[in-house]
Structure 1
């Protein structure tokens, strides 16, 4: 019985191990850790506890990578079978639901755990640089592994419940936001209610809620990692966070097994989803007639939700910003209107960057996934014109976030103008802008080659590139005497290099889309 249950898992794992790109990706991580060690070793004479600084970078890089894997990799375990209409065929072939869940989710989890284990021996070398103990390394990787197991099974539940990969990824993202931001927001609401004397400070409800919030803090991987990375940490690696995340992973898998028969067999249309497009003749939500740029109209309404999704974003961003400003105003003694504007500006700048990153990961992937490039290429336009039209239509979905970004900038404009001239004169500012643009182009290019995970892969490649750049810059500065002229020259050269990469990515994306359209 067990042999039949793990048959699909065994096959998926064998196929994954035979792929060359799997071993190249793991080798890349091992080389990355060694390269970081080289940088830390070369800079150890200039800073104290270089090993702790290196280890902190590696731990938080793994944390971000796990978050991206949970949103893009684990959340698509079952939804990709739904979209391809193959779940019924698998069940007809005698694959039971438990075997299907194990076969789809466990190989991805094992691959991610192997990626963590590959780094472990090299990370131990950080102990020799000072500031890190063996117990800290063990505890950090145990916390990350437990969080990875819990997140992978959370993604499995969302993949079972949702009909499409995008909805499952959104549900995982919402769950993570509640996991990390829910306890402090609930605690703030309780403190406000006590201050307003809506509830008494020593009531049973207040004590029970505070105990629950405390347990939520203890189960948070971020809180555990911040505790582990402090100097003098000497606690057990198998703490409360480890066991709660492990138990949550088991419970999520059992929940996915119980919900499989209810949700996984739901019929999914083979056509792309229409999102929040109204099926009725609603003047506001209905897409109406096509624009002169029909492809931009199609991407705005049928890929990014249209006016309905824009309205939802507008309301949600407004409520979130109001809550954030109210929380900061409540917890701080003075919070001026100018500071509020800066808070809104920088918050929405991060949101805009995230939104465009998500758009770049799916703007061409949608056409590849639904095999519509062949029919799209038949339009009387070049492939470059079609691609730019899709970009224009997708960027219209960022207008709600950009609206609040402009509002925040106008409120805090006096504070920003004072530093604007100094910032614009710095080569590092322009390098950062070019890096962000290059990251978006790299993500869009990778999405035409791989089935999933273009965004986390682009993030890892950019991180590796930045490490190489920092190492090269430090060597050039030390070799040139450490003058500011050498530093600025290296920044300008790297900016020109990335600018050339952006221009080249346009041609590569065009060639790739043309090739896919001819298949």
Structure 2
């Protein structure tokens, strides 16, 4: 698993972490807090189940210490190196981005393990006070490790993304705390849904399903409460440990992919080489080398993907966000069918998801066109052996590839009203989803059209196409059937998109020619 380079880097980082003062201060503060809590319960041995009360207090402080250690430690995995510009030195070690993240995470994992071990002597005192078994102590240690895995996955993603974006390390810690709280909330909602769908016996009310079953919970906080209950007799290790370990591995993989996209693959030789004799011979002037139009269009699409729209880093961030939003999307689809009281929350969640997806598409489309205009690179595209319409199609292809996560989110949002019998909502969201190409092409044409009298006719034409399409859909949907309006959108949007694309290509060629002159 570990090569000599990985072992050497890991050994150096562990020894450096042992010489630092911060881990020792963290462990010392946790020991003092545990001693203080134990002293508070020392004179209360006469109480019933005093050991369980003491163990609950110890667990609270241990969980708080682990969350702080994971958030403060894993967010700084690459923050210091990014600030000090040491990543260039780390590249020459011959290790990949995943190896570096793993090696730099091991010292923080050792710190977390010591924080869990520290509380074991105090937990054994709880057995003496009564109300606690050794199985509960072992289960609490395992669940604290699960909580640490969840917090470390959130922290390493936020740390790498914020550090790569050039922001302050404080923002990484704030975002890690917010992301951890959001994930705990989503895991709690998922536990509630699983309890009502799969685990609750028949005849149990929906609101009391979670309290009526005794099964492992995905939410570590809920699982800690279940372990601290007096009736806990389950095994200390369950399937939630594997689920959270897999989620943490995915989080570290996303962070490694984001880091790898910012530098060349370790081991590659990107240094310039000496030109070969065949390369020094100039090609004959009467036989110019012109790439095929298809290859040129693909080159434009990949140029937009990597340099304008964020490339692999943007896609990794979107897919990672989709992974964390999957419990919320599942809740939007299944939750209202289980409990009518949470219908309002499902609608609010759907509204937030739709606004976020449409806002992301709008931002991406704006960058696609505005970058060319601001950087005055239209003349470079105009000299290619492609028409203006082919250039726009290549740019739209890169936009479509980057927008796949938003399309999936909008598709799920369209299914929600359809599953619950709201045809009007289905038609509205489906119409928005189907008309996105029209909106993007219209936006392109609007940015290229000059703000003068000669462009007034073209602007009116684009506005008229959009208004006519939506007006016809609204009339048929309001007076005939909501699905008739959706069908009108689906049938007329391709024609309207073709008109908008033709106008955008015409004025794109005009702007490119103006820039070339």
Relative to the length of structure 1, the TM-score reads: 0.43
Task: Tell me: higher relative CO, structure 1 or 2? Use CA pairs within 8 A at least 6 residues apart.
Answer: 1
Relative to the length of structure 2, the TM-score reads: 0.43
